[in-house]
Amino acid sequence: MKIYFLSLFLSTASIASERAWIKESNSIAESFAKEFGQIVPESASSMGYEEFDPLGSDVSLEAEKLKGLFYEKWAKILSEKIATEKNRDLRIDLEILLKSVQNSIESVKISEEVGDIGFYDGSKTVFKELQVLINPQSPPSRKKSAVDRFKVYVHGAGKIKPLLSSLENLVKEKEKKYKVKKFYPLRTEVELYLAESNDYVKGVEELLAQSGRSDWKEDFIVFQSQVKKYDQFIRDDQIKKARTDFKLPPKVYQYILKLRGINETPKVLIELGRRDYKIIYKDFVSLAKEIAQKNSLKDHDPASVIKYLKSTPITSASDAERTYREADQVLTKIISENKIVSLPKSSLKIRIAGDAESKATPVPHLTPPPLINNKGERPEFVVPSSSKGTLPFDDFSYKEAALVLVAHEGRPGHDLQFSSMLDNGVSIIRSRYAVNNVNIEGWGLYAEDLVYPYLPLEAKFAALQMRLWRIARMFLDPEVQGGKSSQKEVMKVFSNELGVSSVMADLEFKRYTFRDIGQAPSYYYGLLKLRSAKEALQKKLGTSFDELCFNDGVLGLGLLPLDIIQEELLSRLECNDLK
C-alpha cells in the first residue's frame, strides 16, 4: 500500500486550522475583507460573511474614492508586514494579497487614463447579486437576508441611494469627470442587455419567491418601474454614445491579460497558439478518419464527424442531467482505478439552470460554494437550459462531449479545486485572493489531459475538439482585439474546422469582444504552465515521481499562481512510498 507525504501544506482541516501562520493569514484576510465590506458589502457576503448579506453598496464617485483610499492604506500595511515577515508561507500569502491590492490601484489609474465610462447592466446586476444568496444550497437565513438586500437596492438605506438611479448618476458623474477622453461601452453589449433585461426582471421575481418571505411584492413593483426608467436612460442616452469598435486600447488589453494570470504578450500568445493548433489539428483529422471508417461514414472531415456524433442529441434538460451524472460515474471509476487524484467522499452536484441564470451565464460552468462559514454547501456544476426545456446549443449534447465537459467542470476538474479547499483547509488568501483565470482554467484543461488516455475513441475525438477549441481561443482573442481576425474568421475556425455550432461560435466572438475579454487564452496557457511544473518535478524526482502525489500536491496549494505552485512543489513536495 502506498502512503504519500506532501510536506507542510497538505493536511486535514483540523490540522490546518492549528497552524500559526494560517491563523495569522486568515486574521489579516478577514480584517481586509470586512473593512472592504463596509464599502462593498456584496464582496464580503460572497465570501461567506453573513452579517453583510442584508446590505447593499453605495454606488457613486465618492464610494470609488473610498475604495482608492482603502487600497492605498492596505498597500502600506501589507508592504510593512512583508518587510519583517520570516515565515515563508505567510509571506507568500501577504505578497499575494498585496498584489491583488496593487492590481486594484493600477486598474483605477488605467480607467481614469482612458476615461472609462463603464456599462452597468442594471437588472442583470440585481439578479446576480440576489442569486448569490438565493440558490438551492443556501440556508434559509441567507435567502431571507436577500430580501433585505433587495429592499436596499430598491429604496436605499441611510446615505445609500436606490441602486438603479445611482448607476445612472454614476455614469453622468463620470461623463463630467472625464473631460478630455471618454471610453464608452460597446454597442453590442448594450443592445444585448436591453434585449434580455425583462428576463432578468422575471428572474429576480422568481428568486424572491424562493426567499421564504412575502414582504417583497410591493418593492418588486417599484423595482419594475425603476428598471423601465433605467433602461430608457440607456436607450435614450448611452446607446447613442456607445462605441462600435470592439477593440480595447492595447495598454488596457495587456493589463487585462496580466490580471488573468497571463505574462506573455499578445504576439507570443498568437504565435504559440497558431503553432500548436496546426500540430494537434493533424491528430484531430486522423481520429475523424478512424471514426468515419468505423461507422462507414461518407464524409470523414472533422466537422462532419462531429455532426454525426450530434445526430442523437440530448433534447431535454432532464436527459442532460442524467447524461452528465452517468459521465461522472464513468470518470469516477477511471480516476479511482488509475489512481489519478484523491476524490472527496461527497458526490458531484449537478443542476440545470433556469432561463435568467442561463442568459446571465450561457455556458456550462461550476459555481463555487462559500469557503467561509460553509454550512455544507458544495461546488455545483450548472448546465444552462431554456424555457422550452431544451439545451440552448448542441455542442455538449452527446454523451462523448458530456464526458469531457464533466471532466473539466466536475471531476477531476474544477469541482476538485474547490472540494479540496473545503475538505483539506487552505488559507482565505489562497482560496480567494490568489485566484486568476490561468490557475483555474489551466487545471480544468489539465483535468481533461489526465483522463484522456482512458477514454473511448469517440470521447477522445471530442476531447481533441475541445482542446483545439481552447488553443484557438489563445490566438483568436488577441487577434480579434488586435484587429487581425474578424467575426468571419472566428466563425470559420469554430464552425468549419472544429464543427462547433453557430450559436456557440457567436458566443465565442462575443467573449472576445465584450463578455470576457482576455479570459479565453488562459486555458491553454495554464495547461502549458502545469505541464511545465509536472515535467520539472519528474526531472527532479525521477522514478520516485508519482502522478497521484503531484496532482494532490497542486490541489493542496489552493489557487496559488502556477509559477508559485511550481516553485513550492519543487522545493517541498515529498512523495514517499512506504510498504
Mean of pLDDT values over 146-154? 98
Say whether the peptide bond before residue 362 is cis (omega within 30 degrees of 0): no
Report, as an integer, the average pLDDT of 543-569: 92
On the question of pLDDT at 577 being above 60, the answer is no
Q: What angle do CA 4, 10, 16 make, to 5 degrees?
A: 140
d(CA 149, CA 216) in angstroms, rounded, equals: 11
Residue predicted with more confidence, 562 or 390: 562
Give the side-chain half-sphere CA count within 13 A for 522: 26
What's the pLDDT score for residue 261?
Answer: 95
Q: Give the model's pLDDT for residue 5.
A: 31
Confidence check: pLDDT of 4 > 60: no
What pLDDT, on the 0 to 100 scale, is given for residue 183?
96
Residue 141, number of CB atoms within 10 A of its CB: 12
Query: How confident is the model over 299-350, as pLDDT tens digits?
Result: 999 999 999 998 887 777 778 888 889 999 999 999 999 999 999 988 998 8
pLDDT (0 to 100) of residue 322: 87
Q: 115-134 burial, b if ≥16 CB within 10 A, otherwise e?
A: bbbebbbbbbbbbbbbbbbb
Backbone angles phi, psi at 381, to 5 degrees: -80, 115
- Which pLDDT score is estimated for 181? 92
Strand partners, 157: 160
More confident: 388 or 240: 240
Residue 132, C-beta contacts closer than 8 angstroms, at least 6 positions apart: 42, 45, 46
In terms of C-beta distances under 8 Å and separation of at least 24 residues, what long-range contacts does 25-30 make, across chains too? 25/89, 25/90, 25/93, 25/94, 25/427, 25/428, 25/429, 26/427, 26/428, 26/429, 28/81, 28/93, 28/94, 28/97, 28/429, 29/93, 29/97, 29/427, 29/428, 29/429, 29/432, 29/433, 30/428
Mean pLDDT of 128-133: 95
Average pLDDT over residues 434-457: 96
CB 508 within 8 A of CB 494: yes
The pLDDT assigned to 167 comes to 97
**Is the alpha carbon torsion for 178, 179, 184, 190 positive or negative?**
positive
Spatial CB neighbours of 18, under 8 Å, sequence gap ≥ 6: none
Rounded Cα distance, 534 and 527, in Å: 11
Of 402 and 42, the structure prediction assigns the larger pLDDT to: 42
pLDDT tens digits along 115-127: 999 999 999 999 9
Say how many CA atoms lie within 13 Å of 342 toward its Cβ: 21
Tell me what pLDDT residue 306 has: 95
Helix ranges, 410-521 (H): 414-424, 428, 437-451, 457-481, 487-491, 502-510
pLDDT at residue 470, rounded to an integer: 97
513-553: pLDDT as tens digits: 999 999 999 999 999 999 999 999 999 988 888 999 999 99
Amino acid at 139: P
Following DSSP, what letter does each residue of 129-156 receive, concatenated? HHHHHSSTTS-HHHHHHHHHHHHHHHH-
User: What digits encode the pLDDT tens for the residues 154-163?
Assistant: 999 999 999 9
A 10 A CB-CB count for 557 gives 25
The pLDDT score that the predictor gives to residue 534 is 94
Specify the range with the lowest mean pLDDT, choosing from 2-16, 253-267, 490-504.
Answer: 2-16
Angle between helices 122-133 and 163-177 (to 10 degrees): 130
Mean pLDDT of all residues belonging to the chain:
91
Q: How confident is the model at residue 437 (pLDDT cuts 50, 70, 90)?
A: very high
DSSP bridge partners of 352: 383
Residue type, 45: S
Give the β-pairing of 349-352 and 365-367: unpaired
Q: Cα–Cα distance between 78 and 86 in angstroms, integer?
A: 14
The per-residue pLDDT for 195 is 96
pLDDT over 70 (residue 504): yes
Taking only the tens place, the pLDDT of each residue in 341-400 is 999 988 998 888 777 777 777 778 888 887 788 878 888 888 887 666 566 668 887 889
pLDDT at 399: 86
Q: Please determine, for residue 50, whether its predicted confidence score (pLDDT) is greater than 90.
A: yes
**pLDDT score at 388:** 65
Rounded mean pLDDT of 411-431?
91
Distance from C-alpha of 231 to C-alpha of 233, rounded to nearest angstrom: 5
